[in-house]
Amino acid sequence: MSQTAGYLTKLQIAPDSTGSAGSYATLANNPKAKIDLKMATVTTTPLGGSGDETKAATIQSFTVSGDVFYDHSDTATGTLEGAVRTQVWAKCYTTATNFISGPCLVTGLSYSEDAAGVSSMSFTLESTGPITRG
Amino acid sequence: MSATAAYKAKLSIAGTSTATTGEACSLVSGKTYQVTSSAKRVLDPAVARTWKDNGSAVSAANIASEDLLFGKVTFVAGYSPTGPITLDGSYYPRVAVAALKNCKADLKQNTKDTTALNTSGDRTLVGVTRSATVSASAYDDLRTDLDSGTSGEQSFVSLLMSRTPKLFELDPTGGGTWVIRAWMVAEGASNSLSADDIVMGDISWTLADQGSATAAAGWEMGAP
């Protein structure tokens, strides 16, 4: 395993195009993001067993959250802002080539303004459909 | 593309409702028209609107929808406008709120899980309700009159105590190119008092009751 400098990663957003990803655009001014890939589990620890807890994997999902220095003219930012009750597609590169992608709902946009700072927007995306690992 | 210093951001609230007659509208696309003057696009939900086509009122049956936050009307598919389209109604000018140290607008889309049997095992969601909150800190005791055009104290404190919904508009970059608007009602107004500091005020607002005759529903964003 080799390490990857964070600046080499990227987050891409595409609008939905009749159920498929439209054209991906890299989210600009994005200093950090977090991708949480989760597998929900159900406890199946049986009676009469060894006493060790056992679990079965059920539903998988991912959440993407992050911040941008706000610029509405950025294509990907505009796609996030325009996705009201519609889905977008997120492609999260964790190295220059490895990615996790899938359709998402934009579940949160938060605009923060501080007179001593820079206009910022944080976002949260929740997956809603098949997850692709590339 | 670059970051924008946040001191340029602008939070505004609705001023005094102002009547307008024969207000010019422009075609957006399809059957949707918008009030041409960006200063007059926030429409007063409490005042009846008459959309006119070439001087004659368009019947309610021919109006598919209105966007009161951005001054738009969409006619039904079967209606063919002659033009020009005009509006008789009232609009709210916006008044910038001064002395803010910071502000934050949180917009949320609530979801319901729709993951089904006989699928790939990937979670699916459907968006349901939306919510919004605005919070801000001010170099102010929150008793400053925000709208000198309306009689009586129109401060953050008086608006909270009167339960008056108010239109909020956030321009995140102050550039007048993209804004977020919502009718909101106050949830809190608090003062911090310290002998070695100036008086600070913190406000928090949430989406107003959508059943109110004086509020339009939800939050929207777009070009002002």
Chosen from A29, A111, A132 to mutate, greatest number of chain B CBs within 10 A: A111
Residue B148 to residue B145: CA distance in whole angstroms: 6
The DSSP bridge partners found for residue B216 are none
Residues of chain A with a CB closer than 8 angstroms to some CB in chain B: 28-29, 40, 58-61, 69-74, 81, 84-85, 102, 105-121, 126-131
Residue B30 to residue B156: CA distance in whole angstroms: 41
* pLDDT exceeds 80 at position B109: yes
Per-residue pLDDT of B154-183, as tens digits, reads: 889 888 888 888 899 999 999 889 999 998
User: Rounded to the nearest 5 degrees, what angle is found at the Cα of B184, between the Cα atoms of A117 and B201?
Assistant: 50
**Which of A119, A129, A130 lies at the smallest CB-CB distance from B172?**
A119
Chosen from B123, B137, B140 to mutate, greatest number of chain A CBs within 10 A: B123
Per-residue pLDDT of A37-46, as tens digits, reads: 999 999 988 8
Per-residue pLDDT of A67-96, as tens digits, reads: 999 999 999 999 999 987 789 999 999 888
The contacts of residue A94 (CB under 8 Å, 6+ apart) are A4, A9, A35, A100
Global ipTM? 0.77
pTM score = 0.85
Q: What is the pLDDT of residue A61?
A: 92
Q: What is the CA radius of gyration of chain B?
A: 20
Per-residue pLDDT of A47-69, as tens digits, reads: 898 888 888 889 999 999 999 99
Tell which residue, B61, B57, B26, B60, has the closest CA to residue B40. Answer: B26
Over residues B9-16, the mean pLDDT reads 93
User: For residue B150, which amino acid is it?
Assistant: T
Q: Is B14 left (phi over 0), alpha (psi -120 to 50) or beta?
A: beta
Element (H, E) at A81: helix A75-82
